[in-house]
């Protein structure tokens, strides 16, 4: 005999409601094994009848009398439901929906996840999430250079990069490599993108060059905004409030899209501005040959980029690994150079150089000249000396020092109207007189672009420039990408269970043994066996946005994207042939440009293109991926190390999660069995723990368990196959 | 005025214009419990008050009469002496005519009768308005029951034992996982099933005079019946059914059966 108790909190008092025995309340425990985030139960509700007794009438303030303005009219009150002495529902809500035939119809709501209800009902695009002052990108090339591979992801998250108006993180500047084409050796004099894109179409042999790196927004920051906007609570596996640097690894799973994922910004408006300003040049193998930058100061406009650019020479680049000293010679092979495409700009040079002179040196103070060199590539011709900086003897250290810091010497070069020989490039080199024996002790020079303060700065907001994907779509995608299904954990937070958790628990013998609760004997059969859950087909596809399930002839000028569709196969000839489980709102890797097939695409995202007829740019295709290291293939004179790059995610059954899901669903057998109530297990149920039933000699995954107040309990279970061990 | 709360009671509103809304409050005299509602007037409406009267009794087993007032637009219009019960015409007459009560002097006798204004606990020597005529009985063998009748009076009587029966009901059956074998062969699986049990007792109030029947028969309608066992009272339920007796017989037996909560078998 099940003893049920129902308590409600009314008018400040906890009252015990008279309920029928049995009450008719049914509690459903539902695993989300087959569900996606939009189908997850964010609240459960049950309707049942409460008898009309004097006690209940007093509790509900005589709501059954039409004349009375009952204080419980339309109200939800807190309730508790105790099942056989176990507080099954502690934070429920109860309200009376109607009174009929002398009984109250009550609805009890529990397990409410307000945030998820909100997300389901009021979904918005991620572009509309709160955009506070901290979401402004300031671009810096320097942030792309990695000095410490072991901790590459976190290294550059420095507090000195914060200001009231901008945040720099490597994530915002991660190099999503986009290919544009620049004709060999020719920059149009006005650097007008439209014009040279027209040239590109005609000239497939043009040398492929990447245009520029694009800011990438970390997935973690977007999830935090989603969490705050909808009032969701999420477990630490999904979101953490820590700095990127401190993000803890919760699961040793690779790849971890929640922690390491990023979404590039794709909006056209942002891109055009950016394109005119910055450029990175890569060779076709993804290595870095030289760096080209374009600076444009645009006056009188708002809402565009503020570019603050910092380049750092560091003696580390020159150092022979075992010595601190370096010799600079007037030799093109040894000169550390970088090239700048400068247009209407000033340069501020600061830094410190310490010379080491041989003992007894009586010559002139060594000097450094800042020269600009206009190549064709890698050949120095037409060296123009911009400035010579004399060193001064510093008694305290006994060395000649050039100290061009803020308080010392500054060189400002106004290069507006500077005409360089074609091609319009300037290379700055720090060049030293070739004096025997003079060595450089230390050389750190910064070359900064210097804007006239009167010129209006430009800023780019992050959120509106992201792809137009809804928050719910993004969250769903993340779950599918991670290879798990959503669950609400015992703290009421949104969490993730991985498919392989089921197998892991099985291998660790971490299972529920419900044999003794089962109400069928060893010779008995389940009440019901089904071979599908109703949503499965023979082929169940997970697709990227650019893919389709059916085979389509592709046109010769169609772009080609990577990313295999994942196909979970059910070997059941009676099901529909093809079903799409989910189509991601993101494209796969951009493999081949349909119109310019010989141009390598960098296997990155399909960036914006200009329509030559209308000179309009279309937005880049949305993509999502992981941060990765972009390695310099060619450690040449530049000595450049690795850049923080980006790799597009793609669907593939390389994920163990999907391999396992395939094994789960290859021949699904779903049974329904009557049981006595395994109360202790149900109270904190873990849906990734398999269930062992001796009578059926098999192990199962839980789909759902339904208990009714009459004491009967029915479980729906999915048989686990034996094929996946090891 | 005395009102039985389970007899329908209507208050007629008069002197209020058509279409006006009148606020009515029913409350205990001290105002601790109150119910308010609105009445739309058309003509002279009858206002049904019994439900609220019933709800004023929070602890009916101990307090079966309450003083209450009726307020119309916050002005007191009526006072009532409420009784937790309903009355038939004969019971109303009995306020003036006394009961004939058999008093069991060796048992914990309980008797409480409405005397016209409140419930009076009666003893053989009391001087109550409602003082019944007493006949003494010293027997002690049998089931001694007390109950509240539909008017709200408390009575008790000694019923002679008849039969004692156990009624069981099957619960769910389930396999234990063990088998029963004999001679090297497995005969069958062992299943167990849970049960609930009730104990039903038949007993009889013997040799009742015509006057005694007047009150003893009310036990079959009662919702509040207790069996005396040593120092405590065990709640029992009188089995529903048809109880008949001949009206004119000078002495009759009155048989009832009741079920008593039983110690339950182990829940499996």
What one-character-per-residue DSSP string does A443-464 give? EEEEEEEE--TTSPP--EESGG
A1 close contact with B: CB closer than 8 A = yes
Q: Can you tell me the mean pLDDT for A326-330? A: 20
Select, from the ranges A403-407, A460-464, B50-54, the one with the highest average predicted confidence (pLDDT). B50-54
B16 close contact with A: CB closer than 8 A = no
Nearest CA in chain B to A66: B37
B245 close contact with A: CB closer than 8 A = no
Q: What is the pLDDT of residue B267?
A: 67
Hey, are the CB atoms on B57 and A54 less than 8 Å from each other?
yes
Question: Chain B contacts of A695, Cβ < 8 Å?
Answer: 175, 177
How many other CB atoms sit within 10 Å of the CB of residue A91?
Answer: 13
Hey, are the CB atoms on B58 and A58 less than 8 Å from each other?
yes
Q: What is the pLDDT of residue B264?
A: 77
Q: Where are the beta strands (DSSP E) in A451-606?
A: 460-461, 484-488, 494-498, 512-513, 528-530, 539-543, 560-561, 566-569, 578-583, 590-592, 600-604
Q: Where are the beta strands (DSSP E) in A491-633?
A: 494-498, 512-513, 528-530, 539-543, 560-561, 566-569, 578-583, 590-592, 600-604, 609-611, 616-618, 625-630
Hey, are the CB atoms on B54 and A54 less than 8 Å from each other?
yes
Nearest CA in chain A to B193: A519
pLDDT digits (tens, 9 = 90+) for B96-130: 788 899 999 999 999 998 887 788 888 888 888 78
pLDDT digits (tens, 9 = 90+) for A72-104: 888 889 999 988 888 888 888 899 999 988 899
Q: What is the pLDDT of residue A102?
A: 82
Alpha carbon distance A245, A254 (integer Å): 18
Q: Is the pLDDT of residue A671 over 90?
A: yes
Dihedral of CA A597/A599/A603/A606: which sign?
A: negative
- Hey, is A686 helix, strand or coil? coil
Q: Which of A254, A244, A248, A256 is nearest to A154 (CA)?
A: A244
Mutate to test the interface with B, among A13, A16, A54, A674 (most CBs of B within 10 A): A54
Alpha carbon distance B165, B199 (integer Å): 6
Q: How confident is the model at residue A350 (pLDDT cuts 50, 70, 90)?
A: low
Q: Is the pLDDT of residue A310 over 50?
A: no
Distance from CA of A521 to the nearest CA of B (A): 5
pLDDT digits (tens, 9 = 90+) for A30-61: 888 777 667 776 677 888 889 999 999 999 99
> Which of A564 and A333 is assigned the larger pLDDT?
A564
For A673, the token pair is 């069995």
* Segment (H or E) for A56: helix A54-59
Q: What is the pLDDT of residue B157?
A: 94
Q: Can you tell me the mean pLDDT for B91-96? A: 79
ipTM greater than cut 0.85: no
Hey, are the CB atoms on B55 and A62 less than 8 Å from each other?
yes
Q: Is the pLDDT of residue A300 over 70?
A: no
Q: Is the pLDDT of residue A341 over 60?
A: no
- Hey, is A1 helix, strand or coil? coil
Question: Chain A contacts of B66, Cβ < 8 Å?
Answer: none
Q: How confident is the model at residue A507 (pLDDT cuts 50, 70, 90)?
A: confident
Q: What is the pLDDT of residue B5?
A: 92
Q: What is the pLDDT of residue A677?
A: 83
Q: What is the pLDDT of residue A264?
A: 81
Hey, are the CB atoms on B55 and A54 less than 8 Å from each other?
yes
A523 close contact with B: CB closer than 8 A = yes
Q: What is the pLDDT of residue A35?
A: 72
Compute the 3-state secondary structure of chain B and give helix, strand, coil in percent, each to the nearest 5: 10, 50, 40
> Which of A440 and B106 is assigned the larger pLDDT?
B106
Query: In sequence order, what are the beta bridge partners of B101?
Result: B134
Stretch among A24-28, A229-233, A428-432, B257-261 having the lowest mean pLDDT: A428-432
DSSP assignment letter at A170: H
Q: Can you tell me the mean pLDDT for A183-207? A: 40
Distant-in-sequence, close-in-space partners of A623: CB < 8 Å, separation ≥ 6? A263, A264, A266, A467, A586, A587, A588, A589, A590, A604, A605, A606, A648, A649
A241 — phi, psi (to 5°)? Answer: -85, 0
A712 — phi, psi (to 5°)? Answer: -85, 155
pLDDT-above-70 percentage for chain B? 99
Q: Is the pLDDT of residue A334 over 70?
A: no
Hey, are the CB atoms on A712 and B172 less than 8 Å from each other?
yes
Distance from CA of B153 to the nearest CA of A (A): 20
Q: Can you tell me the mean pLDDT for B147-159? A: 92
User: Distance from CA of residue A319 to its chain's centroid?
Assistant: 37
Q: Is the pLDDT of residue A550 over 80?
A: no
Question: Chain B contacts of A712, Cβ < 8 Å?
Answer: 172
Mean pLDDT, chain A, integer: 66
Mean pLDDT, chain B, integer: 88
Hey, are the CB atoms on A54 and B172 less than 8 Å from each other?
no
B172 close contact with A: CB closer than 8 A = yes
Nearest CA in chain B to A59: B55
Mutate to test the interface with B, among A64, A68, A514 (most CBs of B within 10 A): A68
Q: Which of A514, A1, A707 is nearest to B267 (CA)?
A: A1
For A388, the token pair is 């010579």
Q: Are A214 and A645 in contact (CB under 8 A)?
A: no
Hey, are the CB atoms on A519 and B55 less than 8 Å from each other?
no
Q: Can you tell me the mean pLDDT for A713-726? A: 77
Measure CA of the first residue to CA of the last residue in chain B; give whole Å. Answer: 56
Hey, are the CB atoms on B172 and A711 less than 8 Å from each other?
yes
Q: What is the pLDDT of residue B224?
A: 92
Hey, are the CB atoms on A676 and B55 less than 8 Å from each other?
no
Nearest CA in chain A to B57: A54
Hey, are the CB atoms on A54 and B36 less than 8 Å from each other?
no
Hey, are the CB atoms on B172 and A695 less than 8 Å from each other?
no
A534 close contact with B: CB closer than 8 A = no
Stretch among A234-243, A300-309, A358-367, B15-24 having the lowest mean pLDDT: A300-309
Question: Chain B contacts of A522, Cβ < 8 Å?
Answer: 175, 177, 189
Distance from CA of A60 to the nearest CA of B (A): 12
> Which of A144 and B51 is assigned the larger pLDDT?
B51
* Segment (H or E) for A48: strand A44-51
pLDDT digits (tens, 9 = 90+) for B215-259: 899 999 999 999 998 889 999 999 988 888 888 888 989 999 999
Distance from CA of A5 to the nearest CA of B (A): 19
pLDDT-above-70 percentage for chain A? 56
Q: Is the pLDDT of residue A428 over 90?
A: no
Hey, are the CB atoms on B37 and A65 less than 8 Å from each other?
yes
Cα pseudo-dihedral A141, A142, A145, A148, rounded to 10: -150
Q: Are B133 and B195 in contact (CB under 8 A)?
A: no
Q: What is the pLDDT of residue A612?
A: 41
Q: What is the pLDDT of residue A179?
A: 43
Alpha carbon distance A263, A466 (integer Å): 7
B51 close contact with A: CB closer than 8 A = yes
Distance from CA of B154 to the nearest CA of A (A): 21
Q: What is the pLDDT of residue A79?
A: 92
Q: Using CB atoms, which residue from A62, A516, A524 is nearest to B35?
A: A62
A516 close contact with B: CB closer than 8 A = yes
Q: Can you tell me the mean pLDDT for A694-707? A: 90
Q: Is B69 left (phi over 0), alpha (psi -120 to 50) or beta?
A: beta
pLDDT digits (tens, 9 = 90+) for B184-214: 998 888 888 878 888 899 999 988 998 888 8
Nearest CA in chain A to B25: A68
Q: Can you tell me the mean pLDDT for B137-146? A: 92
pLDDT-above-90 percentage for chain A? 10
* Segment (H or E) for B70: strand B65-72
Q: Are A339 and A375 in contact (CB under 8 A)?
A: yes
* Segment (H or E) for B69: strand B65-72
pLDDT digits (tens, 9 = 90+) for B1-12: 889 999 999 999
Alpha carbon distance A185, B78 (integer Å): 108
Hey, are the CB atoms on A522 and B172 less than 8 Å from each other?
no
């Amino acid at each position: 005999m099940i003893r049920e108790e129902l308590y409600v909190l009314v008018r400040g008092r906890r009252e015990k409601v008279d309920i029928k025995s049995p009450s008719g309340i049914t509690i459903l425990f539902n695993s989300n094994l087959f569900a996606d985030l939009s189908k997850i139960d964010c609240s459960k509700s049950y309707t049942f009848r409460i008898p009309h007794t004097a006690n209940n009438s007093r509790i509900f303030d005589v709501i059954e009398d039409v004349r009375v303005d009952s204080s419980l009219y339309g109200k939800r009150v807190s309730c508790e439901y105790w099942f056989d002495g176990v507080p099954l529902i502690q934070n429920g809500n109860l309200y009376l929906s109607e009174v009929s035939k002398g009984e109250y119809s009550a609805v009890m709501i529990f397990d409410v996840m307000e945030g998820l209800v909100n997300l389901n009902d009021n979904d918005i695009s991620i572009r509309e999430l709160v955009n506070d002052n901290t979401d402004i990108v300031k671009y810096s090339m320097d942030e792309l250079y990695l000095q410490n591979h072991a901790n590459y992801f976190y290294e550059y998250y420095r507090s000195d990069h914060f200001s009231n108006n901008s945040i720099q993180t490597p994530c915002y500047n991660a190099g999503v490599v986009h290919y544009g084409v620049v004709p060999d050796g020719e920059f149009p004099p006005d650097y007008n993108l439209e014009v040279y894109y027209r040239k590109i179409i005609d000239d497939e042999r043009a040398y492929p060059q990447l245009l520029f790196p694009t800011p990438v927004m970390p997935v973690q920051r977007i999830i935090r905004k989603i969490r705050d906007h909808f009032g969701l609570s999420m477990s630490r596996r999904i979101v953490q409030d820590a700095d990127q640097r401190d993000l803890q690894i919760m699961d040793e799973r690779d790849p971890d899209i929640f922690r390491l994922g990023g979404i590039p910004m794709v909006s056209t408006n942002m891109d055009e501005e950016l394109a005119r300003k910055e450029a990175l040049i890569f060779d076709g193998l993804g290595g870095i040959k030289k760096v080209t930058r374009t600076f444009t100061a645009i006056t009188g406009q708002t809402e565009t980029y503020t570019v603050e650019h910092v380049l750092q020479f560091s003696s580390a680049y020159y150092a022979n690994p075992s010595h601190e000293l370096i010799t600079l010679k007037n030799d093109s092979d040894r000169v550390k150079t970088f090239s700048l495409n400068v247009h209407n700009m000033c340069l501020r040079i600061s830094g410190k150089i310490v010379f080491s002179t041989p003992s007894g040196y009586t010559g002139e103070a060594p000097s450094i000249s800042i020269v600009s060199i206009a190549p064709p590539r890698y050949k120095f011709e037409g060296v123009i000396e911009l400035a010579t900086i004399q060193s001064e003897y510093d008694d305290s250290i006994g060395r000649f020092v050039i100290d061009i810091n803020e308080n010392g010497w500054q060189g400002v070069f106004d290069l507006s109207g500077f005409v360089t020989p074609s091609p319009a490039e300037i290379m700055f080199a720090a060049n030293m007189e070739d004096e025997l024996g003079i060595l450089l002790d230390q050389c750190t020079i910064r070359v900064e672009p210097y804007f006239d303060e009167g010129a209006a700065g430009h800023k780019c907001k992050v959120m509106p420039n992201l792809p137009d994907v809804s928050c719910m779509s993004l969250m769903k995608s993340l779950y599918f990408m991670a290879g798990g299904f959503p669950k609400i954990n015992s703290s009421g937070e949104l969490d993730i269970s991985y498919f392989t958790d089921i197998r892991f628990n099985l291998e660790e013998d971490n299972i529920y043994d419900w044999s003794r609760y089962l109400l069928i004997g060893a010779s008995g059969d389940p009440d019901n066996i089904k071979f599908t859950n109703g949503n499965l087909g023979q082929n169940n596809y997970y697709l990227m946005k650019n893919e389709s399930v059916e085979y389509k002839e592709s046109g010769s000028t169609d772009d080609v994207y990577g990313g295999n569709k994942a196909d979970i196969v059910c070997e059941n000839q009676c099901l529909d042939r093809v079903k799409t489980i989910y189509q991601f709102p993101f494209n796969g890797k951009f493999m081949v440009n349909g119109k310019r097939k010989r141009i390598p695409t960098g296997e990155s995202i399909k960036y914006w293109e200009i329509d030559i007829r209308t000179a309009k740019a279309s937005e880049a295709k949305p993509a999502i991926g992981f941060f990765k290291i972009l390695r310099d293939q060619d450690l040449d004179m530049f000595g450049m190390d690795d850049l923080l790059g980006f790799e597009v995610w793609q669907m593939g059954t390389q994920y163990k999660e999907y391999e396992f899901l395939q094994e789960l669903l290859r021949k699904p057998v779903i049974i329904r069995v009557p049981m006595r109530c395994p109360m202790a297990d149900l109270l904190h149920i873990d849906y990734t723990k398999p269930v062992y039933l001796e009578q059926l000699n098999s192990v199962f995954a839980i789909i759902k368990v339904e208990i009714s107040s009459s004491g009967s309990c029915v479980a729906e279970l999915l048989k686990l196959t034996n094929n996946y061990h090891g | 005025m005395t009102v039985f709360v389970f007899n329908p009671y209507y208050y007629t509103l008069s002197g209020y214009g058509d279409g006006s809304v009148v606020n009515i409050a029913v409350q205990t005299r001290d105002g601790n419990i109150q119910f308010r509602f609105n009445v739309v007037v058309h003509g002279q409406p009858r206002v049904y008050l019994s439900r609220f009267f019933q709800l004023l009794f929070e602890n009916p087993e101990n307090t079966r009469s309450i003083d209450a007032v009726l307020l119309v637009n916050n002005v007191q219009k009526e006072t009532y002496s409420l009784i937790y019960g309903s009355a038939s015409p004969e019971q109303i007459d009995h306020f003036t005519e006394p009961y004939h009560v058999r008093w069991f002097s060796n048992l914990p006798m309980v008797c409480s009768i409405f005397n016209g204004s409140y419930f009076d606990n009666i003893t053989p020597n009391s001087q109550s308005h409602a003082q019944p005529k007493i006949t003494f009985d010293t027997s002690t063998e049998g089931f001694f029951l007390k109950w509240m009748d539909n008017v709200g009076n408390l009575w008790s009587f000694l019923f002679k034992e008849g039969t004692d029966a156990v009624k069981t009901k099957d619960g769910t059956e389930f396999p234990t996982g063990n088998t029963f074998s004999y001679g090297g062969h497995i005969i069958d699986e062992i299943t167990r099933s849970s049960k609930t049990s009730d104990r039903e007792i038949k007993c009889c109030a013997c040799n009742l005079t015509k006057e005694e029947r007047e009150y003893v028969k009310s036990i079959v309608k009662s919702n509040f019946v207790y069996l005396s066992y040593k120092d405590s009272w065990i709640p029992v339920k009188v089995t529903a059914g048809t109880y008949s007796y001949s009206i004119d017989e000078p002495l009759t037996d009155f048989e009832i059966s009741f079920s008593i909560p039983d110690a339950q078998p182990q829940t499996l």
